[in-house]
Amino acid sequence: MIFAARNAEQSHHIQLRLRDEFEKCLKNVFAASGSNCTANSLRMHWRAMKIEMITLRELRMRLKSPFETSFGVTQERRILLVELVAGGISGWGEVTAMENPFFNSETTDTAWHVISDFLAPQLIGRELASAVEVPARWAGVRGHEMAKAGVENALWDVEAQHRGLPLSTLLGGRREEITCGVSIGICETPQSLTRKVEKEVRSGYQRIKLKIKPGKDFAFVAEVRKEFPDILLSVDANSAYDLGDSAYLKTFDQFNLLMIEQPLQWDEIHAHAKLQRMISTAICLDECITNSRHANAAIELGACRIINIKLGRVGGHYSAQQVHDVCQEHAIPVWCGGMLESGIGRAHNIAMSTLPNFTLPGDVSASQRYWHEDIVEPEVEVTPNGTIRVPRDPGLGFTVKRAFVDRLTARSKNWKENQAVSISAPNNTVAFDR
């Protein structure tokens, strides 16, 4: 395979840097396990994985009940799954894009297009030593982080199995369990919201997050706080307000919230910096942060005190680690956000949440909150203490129910290493020979 991009030399340097960083990661893994890291052991772990097959599937899954945010109501999910086979090992990833471009610019259909026409063809037949090499392969493809994450994360699953490690360990995580919060969609009345909160508190969740929007905000939060004065409580606006609402948003300071998540425009870091100076409640950024550069800019501008890391939004495990590290360097806590994932996406979230700076309860909750039946076994379960135990088997640690996945599949596409593809794109020439 030959990849000719606008700046091939830069791509080569990126690959070398990624390889150096992964070698450091492997040394950390050896150290954590108490093993000696020798040149021979590193060479053994650098054995290349040849990508033999990629399968893209679209599943149709129905949530138990509608989930409402400030940008709409979701009940029918069109979920893209990526299965990647390398070295005879099968790994899985999930594309977390929504059906419509309301959370960000990606959708189920744009992700299908980008994976089909650009991402999968650039990987099939390649030999890679590690999943950290994947971003450099796609250096000429701008954006489309959720599409990229679905494919890259599948290779992380393969690699963890290839090395006989739980994915959490390969990523550098050390936790044996993660703390869980829950996100509650917009309700019709404050009273109905309070009943839902009561149910989740009884289930043991350590943090409750309320979705809000103009007209369904202050009175709803006030009612919940009155009934539950001591719980860890936050709100999420999904960009429903603007800077002109600053005085109104300041009134939420009285509720002693852990944070207010993404109150302003989805791509506006500077305005959030202005708002953070006006209110006492910590701002948490979500949609604004798609890479470590954005995280660094937001922190330097004082636009937030907390950052939500969504694995799909930032482009996969490698980018998520970079965002995590930037936040850790600046003492900004992070937590894992959710996107109504199936069990495959949830399993990747669990692994990511074991990294050391994930110090706040995330939105990784039980499968049964959302699905009548999940596509993995065992299903994701939350303990009475509001935690999820981290799997210790190699890879994701969950088994995909293939027969059930097949029944839910609406369409699929497959690439094998003997296929030949040629693509032309504006200002870039991409050629593949196999």
Q: Name 329's Cβ contacts closer than 8 Å, sequence gap at least 6.
A: none
Neighbours of 281 (CB within 10 A): 22
- SS3 at position 57: strand
Tally the residues of the chain: 434
- Which candidate, 149, 168, 138, places its Cα nearest to that of 15? 138
The three-state secondary structure class of 122 is: helix
Q: How many whole angstroms separate alpha carbon 185 and alpha carbon 68?
A: 5
Strand residues in 180-218 grouped as ranges (E)? 181-184, 207-211
Q: How far is CA 12 from the centre of its chain?
A: 27
Q: Which amino acid is at 235?
A: V
CA 175, 177, 178 angle in degrees (round to 5)?
A: 95
DSSP result, 80-104: EEEEEEETTEEEEEEE---SSTTSS
Known active-site residue 310? yes
Contact 81, 59 (CB under 8 A): yes
Tokens of 251: 């009134």
Pair 259, 272: CB distance under 8 Å: no
Catalytic residue, candidates 148, 211, 213, 216: 211
Active-site position among 310, 401, 413, 416: 310
Do 60 and 39 contact (CB within 8 A), yes or no? no
Within a 10 A sphere around the Cβ of 381, how many other Cβ atoms? 11
Q: How far separated are the first and last CA of the chain, in Å rounded?
A: 5
Active-site residues: which are they? 211, 310
